[in-house]
Amino acid sequence: MNRSVLSILMSLGLAGSAFATEAKSYPQAPADPADLSVSQSAIFAGGCFWGIQAVFEHVKGVVSTVAGYSGGTVANPSYEQVGTETTGHAESVLVTWNPKLVSFGQLLQVFFSVAHDPTELNYQGPDRGTSYRSAIFYQEPYQKNEIAAYLAALEAAKTWPRPIVTEVKQAGPFYKAEDYHQDFLRKNPNYPYIVVYDMPKLKALASAWPELYVDTSAQSWHELPVLGPEDKRAFPVVKSDAEWKSSLSAMSYKVLRHQDTEMAFTGAYWNEHRTGTYYSAATGQPLFRSEDKFESGTGWPSFTKPISQDAVVLRIDRSLGMERVEVEDSSSGSHLGHVFDDGPAPTGLRYCMDSAALVFVPDGTVPPPLVKAYKP
């Protein structure tokens, strides 16, 4: 990210950017189609992806954010390749949101007000090159229409003193960036670049759009983000209690939706040794692989890690007079079990799951309808 110039800019007092502090200076958000019922996604680019990801992580209704590369021609590029400005990719963030909680139009308001300066052509702050360009890679036709409408409204209102140069293009392949780039601000809040360039964006977001701002300063447990007991999070799959009860077995309903626990050595999978994948019994979301399962002697299926850390949400659980770390699936917030720090290498963790919260599909067999129907 051209960090070499940071100290020079700071010494000259040139670091930082001006952001909106009043939402009234921005046009009204365009309306979404009325029939949006499942999670939606789009890709946003506007300079270093650390700041873009951090802003959208703090927006109410955003389900997930992934830093990566998009808009170019090279498959599976590395950070170093993108930095040569020869791949055509922009540092980007794949944003997924719950349309019942936040609209695409509101995300556009955030993007064009506090996430970056849309009038800077191929640069943001100290970062120079096409990989830092302003761009939106839309996924659906309605998004293209809303972008056009909002850009026209911004230009008509002369919200920005210079022309907006944001590229608008249909989304192509998106390539996830290296792990150390993910959630960089949350993991490195005191990093000089973050302090100077990205923390002001979060302050501007909270000031300009308080109704959209969510404080996600979660606790950390073994360097993993952990929500507090009352922290709110949006999940892409939302059902009423009656709908959950009608779609799940009695035991699965108790475990997944009411944090119950099956008795040790009674579940279907504690002694399962076949090769395959374990899915959420609530949504069909893939959660664990058999290669990461081990014999814990506890009577519950135990794993050293999930398929991806994004597959689960960790939350502090202070029930039963003790503090534990609860594990939820990231698709619906359904309870899966707890994770402990007494597991084997390489993670040292033990994801202790309830069999009733899982569906196991052996490799080479036909998945059940729930798994087939799952859409991330």
Catalytic residue among 45, 82, 325, 352: 352
Residue 324, strand partner residues? 317
In order, the DSSP letters of 154-171 are HHHHT-SSS----EEEE-
Give CA angle at 146 (145, 152), nearest 5°: 95
Q: Which of 145, 127, 167, 174 is nearest to 32 (CA)?
A: 145
What is the strand order of the sheet 324-329 is part of?
293-294, 302-303, 350-353, 335-340, 324-329, 312-317
Q: Answer yes or no: are the C-beta atoms of 368 and 319 closer than 8 Å.
A: no
Grouping H, G, I as helix, E, B as strand and the rest as coil, residue 316 is: strand
Catalytic residue among 45, 48, 208, 336: 48
Catalytic (active site) residue 273: no
Residues β-bridged to residue 288: 278
Residues 219, 228: Cα–Cα separation, whole Å: 7
In the block, which residue shows the tokens 């792990």?
Answer: 179
d(CA 16, CA 296): 51
Decide if 48 is catalytic: yes
* Count of positions (residues) in the chain: 376
φ, ψ (nearest 5 deg) of residue 210: -60, -30
Closest CA to 252 of 337, 340, 318, 373: 337
Strands annotated E in 211-357: 219-221, 224-226, 276-280, 286-289, 293-294, 302-303, 312-317, 324-329, 335-340, 350-353
**Active-site annotation, residues:** 48, 352
